[in-house]
Structure 1
Amino acid sequence: MRVVLSTWGSRGDVEPLAGLAMRLRELGVEVRVCAPPDEEFADLLARAGVPLVPLGPTVRSVVAGPKPPSAKDAFRLAPELVAARFETLSAAAEGCDALLATGLMPAGARDVAEKLGLHYVFACFHIFGLPSRHFPPGSRPGKPLPEGETDNRVLWKADAQRVNALYGGPLNSHRAAIGLPPVDDVRDHVFAGRPWLAADTALCPSQGMTDFDLVQTGAWILPDERPLPAGLEAFLDAGEPPVYVGFGSMAAHAPEGIARVAVEACRAQGRRVVLARGWAGLAPIDDGDDCFAVGEVNQQALFPRVAAVVHHGGAGTTGTAARAGAPQVVVPRIADQPYWAARVAELGIGAAHNGPTPTFESLSDALRTALTPETRERAQALARTIPTDGAMVAAKRLVEAAGTGALSRL
């Protein structure tokens, strides 16, 4: 059996596919993964034993400029990604039985599957982007949502129109070129009726929260057996557990001055700091021996040894910290990050920073909440309840679905 997995987005969109690919290979499935050609993503997939099939531009080239991507950039990127999916997936999916797509609105993936007669699955890592009567859509490039409108149904219809404006023209042009009829609603066409949700039910409860009958598998975790760097091990052993501060692969535009604010706030709580450089290139603010800077590191090994994790609120970092039983301070900026910040606060396993730009005072307040014994007790209690087999659950389900589809085509 052969399966192709596809994504375009940050590390949080790629690493789960590496975890799923590893479990599929354990079941004897031949796996191909189409993802952005960033070097660190190739390394992730290499750990899963799967080569990266380049799809679209590198993410770093899009997000790591002097300014955040603009709406104009988004309208230029959307047709580029649609074209890349038709070209790359058409070749990669030849001879496969199923195609699973995730990441930034994967318009084009379902269409390739349709043309080749493959079983298609859309997967997501949170519910934030799925139409719902319970919450409004997030920000998206294009026409603003109706001002003053509070009916979420109306807002989600407007969101569908924004997706059509971004992807509809190029998608239907490529569909016509391969003999397929046009689609009227790109967003719901991509979601395909029954999306898969790769998230834990405690962190991301979904029952009745969206307009879809979701298949919730649990998080797709890529096991990490890498040792921590010797210097970091020595730093951890030299004192009390530090606070980890990092803002992920999408942090090229981290809050201005965040390194100084974070280090000083941690010091005010009597805590040392492990500072993750990330794409923002964060660096220690002085030569004090209470701050240790790291590059890409095994968070699964590190987080159980820290006092708290200060981060941007990506699904992957939130889940890794939760499974480690580490209290969290979430400083959300975009997309699903406010959702994860709210969940951390609701569960009592940390604090949600109010706003995207922390000050010494505001981050100190959040740290005081996260560093209490009561918060740690709740975080560790939750950690004991979180399943870690979500990738295998999804792999078995995909094999079953793909096998049924393959038989139906005989």
Structure 2
Amino acid sequence: MRVLVSTIGSRGEAQPALALATQLRELGQEAVVCAPPDFREWAESLGVEYLPVGPRVHGTAKQKAGASITAEQRRAMIEGTVADQFAAVGAAAEGCDVIVGGGALAIAARSVAEHRGIGYVYAAFAPVTLPSPHHAPPVYGMPGRTPADGTTGNGELWAQDAQRWYLLWSAPLNAQREALGLTPVTDVSGHIYSGAPWLAADPTLAPWPEPSELKVLQTGAWILPDHRPLPPELETFLDAGEPPVYFGFGSVRAPEGIARAMIEAVRSLGRRAILARGWAELEPIDDGPDVLAIGEVNQQALFPRVAVVAHHGGAGTTTAAAAAGAAQLVVPQMYDQFSFAGRVERLGIGTAHPADEPTAGSLTAALGRALAPEVAETARTVAGKIRQDGALTAARHLIETRRPGSPARRGEGGGSGRL
């Protein structure tokens, strides 16, 4: 079997795609990943076949939050990414038996699968991104959208969300479908999600709420094992005193002045800090010996050795910190990060910073709560419940449903494009 894993986004989307592809290869299957060019070298170092799509996304982390673009610019960006995806995913799907579309911006995946008459699976990385009567759509960081005020039901909010998807994406999507001889799509988001999506998130950290109209298969998070040693400089810093506070925003943008505010907060509590530069290129405010700036390192090796992981609330970092048994301080910025922040607080494994702009004072208060002994104890307990086999579960399910005579294959006629 040959599987194409298609995704658009930053490391939070690329890493689980690589995890699934790696697991499939270990089970004797072929896999290719189609994602932004930023991750090609990383994929090839893992021995994963990789085909890039679209422009590099690294620079988006340095853009100012709230930077406005015109409607014409947005329309051009949408048309460009749809065209790029149909070209790249269409080429990458050659010889494949199934396409796994990771994340809602993998617009072309299902149409390409339908055109080729092969299987299709949609995988979400957070439950809040899938329609449910139990939660509203994520809106933080989305242009022109504000959180629900509680006066509109979740069903209506998801209907409004589907309408927005249609207005933004239907014209370029259907133009590409027409060129392939496919019928138009009238429900863009429903077309992408399918009726039976997968949820690549940990069931303890991010459970799917039932009952639901969707037939959701929760596989667990797709974790890519990392065996790299920590850099000697980092080892020396860790050994020089009590566990420090880790702080980083990964591959997303960071609020203006966040590095200064966080360092001041850490120092006010008498702690040391590890500052991950990330794509936002955060830097220390001085050359004090109590702060070490680092590049990209093995989080699986680092997080068990820190007092608190302070971060943006991305699915990957939240899961890595939870699996390590580290307390968390989540400073969410957009989309599903607010959901993960709330879940961390409800589980008692950390603190969620309010949606307000973070300051040294607000971070000091939130960090102080995260450093409480009972939070550390709960985090260690929850760590034992975090599954490590999500990618294996997904890979095995793909293999099983592609066997001759399986229900998925028996119902495949006419290129239904769904497992």
CA distance in 1: counterparts of 2:283 and 2:145, whole angstroms: 38
Q: Are 2:56 and 1:58 equivalent residues in the alignment?
A: yes
Unaligned runs of 5+ in 2: 415-419
CA distance in 2: counterparts of 1:71 and 1:130, whole angstroms: 27
Name the structure 1 match of 2:197.
Answer: 195
Q: Deviations over 1:168-215 (max 9, x none)?
A: 001111111111111110100111101100111111111316541210
Name the structure 2 match of 1:177.
Answer: 179
Q: Is the 8 A contact 2:104 2:124 kept in 1?
A: no
CA distance in 2: counterparts of 1:223 and 1:85, whole angstroms: 28
- Over 3 Å counting, the alpha-carbon distance change for 1:144 and 1:361 in structure 2 is closer
Displacement of 1:360: 1.6
Q: Deviations over 1:261-297 (max 9, x none)?
A: 1111111111100000111111111111000000111
Name the structure 1 match of 2:267.
Answer: 267
CA distance in 1: counterparts of 2:261 and 2:22, whole angstroms: 39
Displacement of 1:309: 0.6
CA distance in 1: counterparts of 2:146 and 2:379, whole angstroms: 39
Q: Are 2:28 and 1:31 equivalent residues in the alignment?
A: no
Letter in 2 for 1:64: K
CA distance in 1: counterparts of 2:163 and 2:69, whole angstroms: 15
5 Å matches for 1:137-216? 137-139=137-139, 140-141=142-143, 149-208=151-210, 210-216=212-218
- Equivalent pairs, count: 406
Q: Is the 8 A contact 1:145 1:155 kept in 2?
A: no
Displacement of 1:77: 2.3
CA distance in 1: counterparts of 2:295 and 2:3, whole angstroms: 32
Q: Deviations over 1:353-406 (max 9, x none)?
A: 012421122111111111111110000000011110110000000112233456
Q: Deviations over 1:330-354 (max 9, x none)?
A: 0011000110000010000010001
- Over 3 Å counting, the alpha-carbon distance change for 1:284 and 1:62 in structure 2 is closer
CA distance in 1: counterparts of 2:194 and 2:275, whole angstroms: 41
Q: Is the 8 A contact 1:71 1:141 kept in 2?
A: no
- Over 3 Å counting, the alpha-carbon distance change for 1:216 and 1:242 in structure 2 is same
Q: Is the 8 A contact 2:136 2:148 kept in 1?
A: no
Classify the secondary structure of the residue corresponding to 1:241.
coil
CA distance in 1: counterparts of 2:207 and 2:3, whole angstroms: 28
Letter in 1 for 2:269: Q
- Over 3 Å counting, the alpha-carbon distance change for 1:356 and 1:398 in structure 2 is farther
- Over 3 Å counting, the alpha-carbon distance change for 1:87 and 1:292 in structure 2 is same
Q: Is the 8 A contact 2:103 2:122 kept in 1?
A: no
Give the TM-score normalised by the residue count of structure 1. Answer: 0.94
Name the structure 2 match of 1:228.
Answer: 230
5 Å matches for 1:2-401? 2-38=2-38, 41-66=39-64, 68=66, 70=68, 72=70, 73-139=73-139, 140-141=142-143, 149-208=151-210, 210-251=212-253, 254-401=254-401
Classify the secondary structure of the residue corresponding to 1:5.
strand
Classify the secondary structure of the residue corresponding to 1:236.
helix
CA distance in 2: counterparts of 1:234 and 1:145, whole angstroms: 44
Deviates more, 1:124-133 or 1:176-185: 124-133
CA distance in 2: counterparts of 1:240 and 1:179, whole angstroms: 63
Query: Cα RMSD (Å) of the superposition?
Result: 2.1
CA distance in 2: counterparts of 1:245 and 1:195, whole angstroms: 33
CA distance in 1: counterparts of 2:24 and 2:66, whole angstroms: 36
Q: Deviations over 1:116-161 (max 9, x none)?
A: 0111000011012222222222224468899985122222111111
Q: Deviations over 1:15-69 (max 9, x none)?
A: 011111111001111111000011xx22432343213211111112445335655
Q: Percent identity?
A: 52
Displacement of 1:95: 1.2
CA distance in 2: counterparts of 1:32 and 1:49, whole angstroms: 10
Q: Is the 8 A contact 1:142 1:162 kept in 2?
A: no
CA distance in 2: counterparts of 1:61 and 1:286, whole angstroms: 25
Give the TM-score normalised by the residue count of structure 2. Answer: 0.92
Classify the secondary structure of the residue corresponding to 2:302.
helix
Unaligned runs of 5+ in 1: none
